[in-house]
Amino acid sequence: MAARLKDVLVVSVEQAVAAPFATMRLADAGARVIKIERPEGDFARAYDHHVHGECSWFVWLNRGKQSVVLDFKQPGDAAFLDRLISRADIFVQNLAPGAAARAGFASDKLRSRHPRLITCDISGYGEAGPYRDMKAYDFLVQCEAGIAAVTGTPEEPARVGVSACDIGAGLNAHGAILEALYARSQSGTGDGIAISLFDGMADWMNVPLMHHLHGPGAPGRSGLSHAMIAPYGAYPVGAGGRIVIAIQNEREWARFCAQVLGDAALAQDSRFCSNALRVANRGEMDALIALCFAAHDAESLGALLLKAGIAFGRLNEVADLAA
């Protein structure tokens, strides 16, 4: 990656995932990122010890950074951090609610002293409202924002298998910081950014929310299927394993019927001639697809789907990703 941010200095009082993800992306683009840790260290260091004795999360999220240990309660350390910030282009923090301000590093006060500074505060639930003082972790926000309610099986909700709320907040912070850097290049003045894990996930939930407000209700949990699109899911193949397909429009459905299922008339079958009808008759449709797929192994079926221009993939394990 080109070092497009090579002259940018980032000072980040950060922990866990959200802020480290944002500053990792800045470091990837060439920024100098100084990560400030408390004497006990970023608690993400202790999640596991799988990567040569280091935590997998910490190794992933902190590449390309410099780490400095400071105790804000010590006047000398607080003064040192203040001097670092005075030289910085960007200050990021995702401590517990109010912790940075209590330590003397409230973002508005920092910007009043350093007008070119861009500050980014990442919190769970925002800086106003009844939840502002609540600590927040990824799983809690997945539940509060309704992500878990639309994830999993009909019988049981589930947590998304990666830290979607933290990563989403980090992406939002990264994008907002880049926007602020561009704005500063025009105005000469920095800006204050506030990122909330909850707000980001609430935005991602807009389609289920609109179904709830304007449609028949929020979509149900559907495992590896899609509550609103069909065919869309994982189907067993003859020699073991599963192939996943996603049909997005009627042209694809017609090609799938003619070139993969071998029955062009199915595209106009009254049970399947629109997406809504395929969703309503998913059981019958899935049975026809399963019968066809069972006659192929993954390789031959993949070749058939590719030739027909149908989007597909394999249901891989983590070991397959690593291969």
Number of Cβ within a 10 Å radius of residue 309:
11
Ranges of beta strands (E only) in 276-317 are 312-314
Burial class, 82, CB count within 10 angstroms (exposed 0-12 / middle 13-18 / buried 19+): middle
C-alpha span between 46 and 12 (Å, rounded): 20
Point out which residues pair with 233 in neighbouring strands: 245
Q: To 10 degrees, what angle do helices 197-204 and 206-214 make?
A: 60
On whether the CB atoms of residues 193 and 118 are closer than 8 A, the answer is yes
Q: Which residues are catalytic?
A: 226
C-alpha span between 211 and 195 (Å, rounded): 26
Token pair 């030739």: residue: 307
On whether the CB atoms of residues 204 and 196 are closer than 8 A, the answer is no
Identity of residue 60: W
State CA 11 to chain mean position distance.
23
Is the backbone peptide bond immediately before 231 cis, with ω within 30 degrees of 0? yes
Parallel/antiparallel/unpaired status of strands 192-196 and 118-123: parallel
On whether the CB atoms of residues 149 and 218 are closer than 8 A, the answer is yes
Write phi, then psi, for 102 (nearest 5 degrees): -65, -30
